[in-house]
Amino acid sequence: MNPLGSNPYINTAIKAARKAGSVINRASMDLDLVKVGNKGPNDFVTEVDQAAEAAIIEILLNAYPNHAILGEETGATGAEQDPDNEFTWIIDPLDGTTNFIHGFPQYAVSIALRHNGVVTQGVIYDPNRNELFTASRGRGAFMNDKRIRVSKRIKLQDALIGTGFPFRASQDDPELLDRYMRLFRSLTMRCAGLRRPGAAALDLAYVAMGRLDAFWEYGLKPWDIAAGSLLVLEAGGLVSDVKGDDDYMGSGNIVAGSPKIFAQLVAMTTEAR
């Protein structure tokens, strides 16, 4: 039995994630009708992102009207601008929008709750596979009510590692892509395989349940990693930025993995800086 079932924050986030998942699934039945816009190069937004986020916010604020919202599409609202704010929901209504608009079934809803600056609750929902990942600080991580743990692999040569190409971050740091590709090449020669599915929230959820042994990416936003990083930690894994520090939410540069593989990967990302 999932002990998080009595957690009102988790239950509200699950309700919101499933509602957003219904919006996404309906739209996926006829992608030709979905209106797509551009926020920047290789950075798409659809009316589905916006409708899913609106559905999430409505449910969260009905339950917790005094909480703040930090959403990918709406930005900061309410008390988010207040430095003394206690509770903030961090939302990515459709992580993997590019996959979604191409009919590539790798995307998810991500919802996290930050309390006094610390992420304490996380929900990631994959509407394609009906896989629901939940975590609460100090109470473990679960997938569809089953406890999950990071993998037990200890050798980098046996590890399957996820990543994401830093196309947005490279616009601010033109040398980043070259550094990234050097690291990519080195890891290609040293690990069992590299995967780039295109949805960081799901990549982190997969690390938490051992489908991936580790993950790294540059230039992510808080809504990409808030829920997923908590899942990894509660599943027995480790999370840091690429320098081995703990400011991954601020920097957007993240390394996550099972303890033994994490240590080897973060040594390589630190050296590659």
Q: Identify the pLDDT of residue 78.
A: 57
- At 92, list the tokens: 């990515």
What architecture (CATH level 2) is domain 3-147? 2-Layer Sandwich (3.30)
What architecture (CATH level 2) is domain 156-271? 3-Layer(aba) Sandwich (3.40)
Domain boundaries defined on the chain: 3-147, 156-271
pTM for the model stands at 0.93
Q: Identify the pLDDT of residue 49.
A: 87
> Torsion angle of alpha carbons 210, 177, 227, 240, nearest 10°?
80
What pLDDT digit, counting tens, does each position of 84-116 carry? Answer: 679 999 999 999 999 998 999 999 999 999 999
- Rg of the Cα atoms in the chain: 18
As a whole number of angstroms, the distance between CA 270 and CA 273 comes to: 6
pLDDT confidence band for 273 (50 / 70 / 90): low
As a whole number of angstroms, the distance between CA 258 and CA 130 comes to: 25
244 exposed, middle or buried (CB, 10 Å; 0-12, 13-18, 19+)?
middle
What pLDDT digit, counting tens, does each position of 130-163 carry? Answer: 999 999 999 999 999 899 999 999 999 999 999 9
85 exposed, middle or buried (CB, 10 Å; 0-12, 13-18, 19+)?
middle
Q: Is residue 239 predicted with pLDDT exceeding 90?
A: yes
More confident: 167 or 140? 140
Q: What rounded mean pLDDT belongs to the chain?
A: 90
Overall average pLDDT of the 1-28 stretch: 90
The torsion angles phi and psi of 37, rounded to 5 degrees, stand at -120, 175
As a whole number of angstroms, the distance between CA 238 and CA 256 comes to: 6
Overall average pLDDT of the 193-201 stretch: 96
Overall average pLDDT of the 20-26 stretch: 95
Reduced to 3 states (helix: H, G, I; strand: E, B; else coil), residue 61 is helix
pLDDT confidence band for 80 (50 / 70 / 90): very low
As a whole number of angstroms, the distance between CA 220 and CA 254 comes to: 8
- At 55, list the tokens: 């559905």
> Which residues have C-beta within 8 Å of that of residue 117, sequence separation ≥ 6?
none
Q: Is residue 1 predicted with pLDDT exceeding 90?
A: no
Q: What region, left, alpha or beta, does residue 138 occupy, with left being phi > 0 and alpha being psi -120 to 50 degrees?
A: left
More confident: 249 or 178? 249
